[in-house]
Amino acid sequence: MANKKFNSRLIVGTGKYKNMSECAKAIKLSGANIVTVAVRRVNILNKNKPLLMDYIDPKKITYLPNTAGCFTSEDALRTLRLAREIGGWKLVKLEVLGDKKNLFPDMIETLKSTEVLSKEGFRVMVYCNDDPLMAKRLENVGASAIMPLAAPIGSGLGILNKTNLTIIRNQTKLPLIIDAGLGQASDATIAMELGCDGVLVNTAIAKAKKPFDMALAFKNAVIAGRQSYLSGRIEKTLMGVPSSPTEGII
């Protein structure tokens, strides 16, 4: 992706953990090479607050700056330009939300931002809805990866529209990464079996009763789903087909 090779198809978010060390351990267990991070104000009053970079080494794990919480193109551009300034990050995740309750992306603002950022040299991974037409438009304006939602952010509802995701898979050669809405490991397997190139998970791991075990479960689920996809599944039939030979039955 973006001319870089990664060893894991699982991207994990770094939000919502109890603390930084829990976050770091979960990431390690997930095997993820890429983590999403948010850009926020430095707390100037409490200088002893732990820093993310002290727990997750950006030299070992690729930081993917994200515009989570931005509701306009202007805010998203401002955030990512600042992110680039922190240390030269060009691979970024764009997320422009349109509604505070359902957290669906505002695709008009997202499209506008993708075009501007691509022209500025960013490699933009774009959070979007599962609309094949919009996905095509994002590709046309220079997106580096298409990241459709499975379901609303943090909802845990799993993949709601397999058909649309399959259509998007068939129309694009860009990396297709399912972002948002996964609830359990099997959701990641299904995403991978649809032919997606990866999944992004945050809440499903961070808020699981046992985040470390869930991180491991997601790691295995992504590997299983990818292997299953590459293995070529059998045809579906309406009627039963016996597994044992029918000849020679006593």
Partner 1 sequence: MIKIKKIKIRINGKNKTIDNQSTLYELINDLKIPIKKIAIEFNREIVDKKKIKKIKLKNNDVIEIVHFIGGG
| By CB under 8 A, residue 13 contacts partner 1 | yes
| Segment 40 to 99, residues that bind partner 1, using CB under 8 A | 40-45, 47, 51-53, 63, 65-66, 68, 78, 81-87
Nearest to 190 by CA among 216, 168, 212, 160: 160
Three-state SS for 2? coil
| By CB under 8 A, residue 203 contacts partner 1 | yes
Three-state SS for 146? strand
| Segment 145 to 164, residues that bind partner 1, using CB under 8 A | 153-154
210 is catalytic: no
Place of tokens 């972002």: 179
Nearest to 196 by CA among 151, 149, 153: 149
- To the nearest 10°, report the CA torsion of 236, 242, 247, 250: -170
Radius of gyration of the chain (CA): 19
Q: Which is nearer to partner 1, 61 or 134 (CB)?
A: 61
| By CB under 8 A, residue 175 contacts partner 1 | no
| By CB under 8 A, residue 183 contacts partner 1 | no
Please classify residue 43 by burial: count the beta carbons closer than 10 Å to its beta carbon, then call 0-12 exposed, 13-18 middle and 19+ buried. Answer: exposed
Binding-site size, partner 1 (CB under 8 A):
38
Which candidate in 18, 47, 93, 210 is catalytic?
93
| By CB under 8 A, residue 121 contacts partner 1 | no
For the bound state, the minimum distance from the C-beta of residue 240 to partner 1, rounded and expressed in Å, comes to 44
Site of interaction with partner 1 (CB under 8 A): 13-17, 20, 23, 36-45, 47, 51-53, 63, 65-66, 68, 78, 81-87, 153-154, 180, 202-203
- Catalytic residue numbers read 93
